[in-house]
């Protein structure tokens, strides 16, 4: 079998898994690995030289494929561009670079007749990207939605199931290698926003600027929210969605959002625990399909990276194969729909004074803003203060914002403790 010569940047969680898997594929020759700190103690010998000078890889004419598993925006972006310019194929797990610079990177790859493979950038070990690109290629997609971050799913599951604090659950996710080097990328929803941008590009042919994606993270979710949600028959998950507001129309604005969401306990998303991911893809021909599996971690992610390398290695034997693997993504950024127009039911937790007329006033304010209450309970009266939990029917986002702003003017209200959207099928 012909050998394919690879150079890799990064030997952390993912890079170490790639080295381990490549040991089982000897015809894929890993020639050199670049790292940041040559003096760092490594758990095992990678079986090839290590350097701190990436030029030894990017400028080596024998290296056909750059495997980029270092992460972050810069200098990863510059390294990928230099490799593409030298007509090397790129296999990357870097969702941040793809989400922020996808249009120009795919344009450069087209110009140089090389390919970018990126299965590991979304949903770790789940072969989601190749499924959307190839297996579901006959479909027009209306929505892609799901749990796309292993760290936050691990944190929420462990807070609920094991009673761990947020900090203890995050520390455990970091120890297990799921979390990004800066965990705010996970817990504040940036990581999911990057993944949604990539999924939008594959499903709707247009990347979405990460800054245009509505984003709320999980920092404010408390054990009380999780317990109360469960009482009402829901579990709280960080759910990301990309939806074409005009299915079938290539210019339709995209509604792209990531935020904590109450999911009915009977829904498949509610059953996904730990660092697993779960994605629902809706196509006009196939209907809805669901994919579940490990969304992060060393070997699951390496499985996607090495799978890409093996695909690339088979394709390298074919003439002009690069055009086959170039996704049909336009170089225009997508227009996004305003969050104020979205309709969702809500879960609200209010801290109020336990005085006559409070529930009546809340009902009046909500009624004035076309908000219909589905259920309401009062809990935990302590020292004259009480918690009111409200579940609403579907509400236009701007109506909910206006109602909450009016409520905050009321003397009886201490605070709106939580306002979390409830899952509504895309
Ligand atoms: P990591 O454990 O922090 O490892 C990063 C590696 O890159 C380290 O070996 C580091 O070198 C090296 N590196 C950093 N900056 C460098 C530079 N300027 N020049 C050369 N080498 C440099 O990160 P990771 O978790 O493996 O993640 C890598 C990528 O995979 C990221 O894009 C991440 O988003 C993506 N990803 C990760 C997972 C996961 O579960 N962890 C899953 C899917 C995708 P030193 O070892 O010397 O510090
Ligand atoms: N930090 C990411 C996660 C890695 O927890 O899902 C996988 O992309």
Q: Looking at residue 421, what is its pLDDT?
A: 97
- Asked if residue 161 and residue 259 are part of one domain, the reply reads yes
* Percent of the chain at pLDDT exceeding 90: 85
Atom of ligand 2 nearest to the CA of 179: 1
Atom of ligand 2 nearest to the CA of 186: 1
Establish if 89 belongs to a structural domain: yes
- Asked if residue 76 and residue 13 are part of one domain, the reply reads yes
pTM: 0.96
Q: Read off the pLDDT of residues 171-219 as tens digits, 9 standing for 90 and up.
A: 999 999 988 888 999 999 999 999 999 999 999 999 999 999 999 999 9
Kindly state if the Cβ of 128 falls inside 6 Å of ligand 1.
no
Provide the CATH number for the domain around residue 41.
Answer: 3.40.50.720
Q: Looking at residue 379, what is its pLDDT?
A: 85
Provide the CATH number for the domain around residue 151.
Answer: 3.30.360.10
Q: Read off the pLDDT of residues 51-98 as tens digits, 9 standing for 90 and up.
A: 999 999 999 999 999 999 999 999 999 999 999 999 999 999 999 999
Q: Is the confidence at residue 248, as pLDDT, over 80?
A: no
> Quick one: which ligand is closest to 299's CA?
1
**Token pair 């909450």 is at which residue?**
404
Establish if 411 belongs to a structural domain: yes
Q: Read off the pLDDT of residues 322-378 as tens digits, 9 standing for 90 and up.
A: 887 888 888 889 999 888 888 999 999 999 999 999 999 999 999 999 999 999 999
Provide the CATH number for the domain around residue 375.
Answer: 3.30.70.260
User: Quick one: pLDDT band at residue 394, thresholds 50, 70, 90?
Assistant: very high
Q: Looking at residue 44, what is its pLDDT?
A: 80
CA nearest neighbour of 295 among 103, 95, 20: 95
Establish if 250 belongs to a structural domain: yes
> What rounded mean pLDDT belongs to the chain?
94
User: Quick one: pLDDT band at residue 279, thresholds 50, 70, 90?
Assistant: very high
Residues touching ligand 2 (Cβ under 6 Å) are 124, 149-151, 178-180, 186, 191, 295-296
CA 67 to chain centre: 21
- Asked if residue 103 and residue 150 are part of one domain, the reply reads no
Q: Looking at residue 1, what is its pLDDT?
A: 52
The pLDDT of 297-323, averaged and rounded, is 90
Atom of ligand 1 nearest to the CA of 298: 40
User: Quick one: pLDDT band at residue 251, thresholds 50, 70, 90?
Assistant: confident
> What is the residue with the minimal CA distance to atom 1 of ligand 2?
179
Establish if 426 belongs to a structural domain: no
Cβ–Cβ under 8 Å, residues 32 and 10 = no
Establish if 338 belongs to a structural domain: no
Question: How many domains would you assign to the chain?
Answer: 3
Kindly give the pairing relationship between strand 4-9 and strand 65-68: parallel
- Asked if residue 271 and residue 394 are part of one domain, the reply reads no
Q: Is the confidence at residue 247, as pLDDT, over 90?
A: no
Q: Is the previous residue joined to 383 through a cis bond, with omega within 30 degrees of 0?
A: no
Tokens of 281: 């893809």
> What is the residue with the minimal CA distance to atom 38 of ligand 1?
296
Establish if 86 belongs to a structural domain: yes
- Asked if residue 291 and residue 199 are part of one domain, the reply reads yes
Kindly state if the Cβ of 34 falls inside 6 Å of ligand 1.
yes
- Asked if residue 262 and residue 205 are part of one domain, the reply reads yes
> Quick one: which ligand is closest to 300's CA?
1
Domain-ending residue, one of 256, 277, 295: 295
Establish if 333 belongs to a structural domain: no
How many angstroms is it from 122 CA to the middle of ligand 2?
Answer: 8
The pLDDT of 286-290, averaged and rounded, is 97
Catalytic residues: 195
Atom of ligand 1 nearest to the CA of 72: 32
In which domain, by residue range, is 406 found? 343-421
How many angstroms is it from 150 CA to the middle of ligand 2?
Answer: 5
Q: Is the confidence at residue 380, as pLDDT, over 90?
A: no
- Asked if residue 286 and residue 141 are part of one domain, the reply reads yes
Q: Looking at residue 2, what is its pLDDT?
A: 54
Residue 401 to residues 224, 245, 339, 359, 373, Cα–Cα distance (Å): 23, 22, 11, 19, 15
- Asked if residue 259 and residue 353 are part of one domain, the reply reads no
Angle at the Cα of 199 from the Cα atoms of 195 and 202, rounded to 5 degrees: 145
- Asked if residue 303 and residue 287 are part of one domain, the reply reads no
- Asked if residue 414 and residue 366 are part of one domain, the reply reads yes
Q: Looking at residue 264, what is its pLDDT?
A: 98
Establish if 160 belongs to a structural domain: yes
Kindly state if the Cβ of 36 falls inside 6 Å of ligand 1.
yes
Distance of alpha carbon 344 from alpha carbon 262, whole angstroms: 11
- Asked if residue 357 and residue 234 are part of one domain, the reply reads no
How many angstroms is it from 15 CA to the middle of ligand 1?
Answer: 7
Q: Read off the pLDDT of residues 312-323 as tens digits, 9 standing for 90 and up.
A: 998 887 877 888
- Asked if residue 347 and residue 259 are part of one domain, the reply reads no
How many angstroms is it from 378 CA to the middle of ligand 1?
Answer: 48
């Amino acid at each position: 079998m012909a050998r394919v010569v690879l150079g890799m940047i990064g030997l952390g969680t993912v890079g170490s898994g790639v080295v381990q898997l490549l040991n089982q594929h000897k015809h894929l020759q890993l020639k050199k690995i670049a790292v940041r700190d040559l003096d760092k103690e490594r758990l095992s010998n990678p079986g090839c030289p290590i350097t701190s000078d990436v030029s030894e890889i990017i400028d080596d004419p024998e290296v056909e494929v750059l495997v980029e598993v270092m992460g972050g925006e810069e200098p990863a972006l510059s390294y990928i561009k230099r490799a593409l310019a030298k007509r090397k194929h790129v296999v990357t797990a870097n969702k941040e670079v793809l989400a922020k610079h996808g249009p120009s990177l795919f344009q450069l790859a087209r110009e140089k007749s090389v390919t970018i493979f990126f299965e590991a950038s979304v949903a770790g070990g789940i072969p989601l990207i190749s499924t959307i690109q190839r297996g579901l290629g006959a479909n027009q997609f209306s929505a892609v939605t799901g749990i796309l971050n292993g760290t936050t799913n691990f944190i929420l599951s462990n807070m609920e199931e094991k009673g761990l604090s947020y900090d203890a659950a995050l520390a455990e996710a970091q120890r297990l290698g799921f979390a990004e080097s800066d965990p705010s990328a996970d817990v504040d929803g940036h990581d999911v926003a990057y993944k949604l941008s990539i999924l939008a590009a594959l499903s709707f042919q247009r990347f979405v600027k990460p800054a245009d994606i509505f984003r709320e993270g999980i920092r404010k979710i408390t054990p009380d929210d999780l317990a109360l949600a469960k009482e009402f028959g829901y579990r709280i998950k960080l759910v990301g969605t990309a939806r074409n507001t005009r299915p079938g129309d290539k210019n339709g604005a995209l509604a792209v959002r990531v935020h904590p969401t109450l999911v009915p306990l009977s829904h498949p998303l509610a059953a996904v625990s730990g660092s697993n991911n779960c994605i629902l893809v809706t196509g006009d021909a196939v209907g809805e399909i669901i994919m579940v599996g490990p969304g992060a971690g060393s070997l699951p992610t390496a499985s996607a990276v090495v799978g890409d390398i093996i695909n690339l290695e088979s394709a390298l034997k074919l003439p002009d194969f690069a055009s086959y693997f170039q996704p049909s993504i336009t170089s225009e950024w997508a227009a996004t729909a305003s969050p104020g127009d979205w309709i969702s039911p809500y879960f609200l937790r209010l801290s109020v004074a336990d005085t006559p007329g409070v529930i009546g006033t809340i009902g009046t304010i909500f009624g004035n803003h076309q908000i219909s209450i589905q259920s309401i309970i009062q809990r935990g009266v302590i020292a004259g203060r009480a918690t009111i939990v409200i579940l609403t029917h579907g509400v236009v986002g701007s109506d909910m914002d206006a109602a909450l702003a009016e409520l905050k003017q009321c003397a009886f209200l201490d605070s709106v403790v939580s306002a979390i959207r409830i899952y509504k099928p895309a």
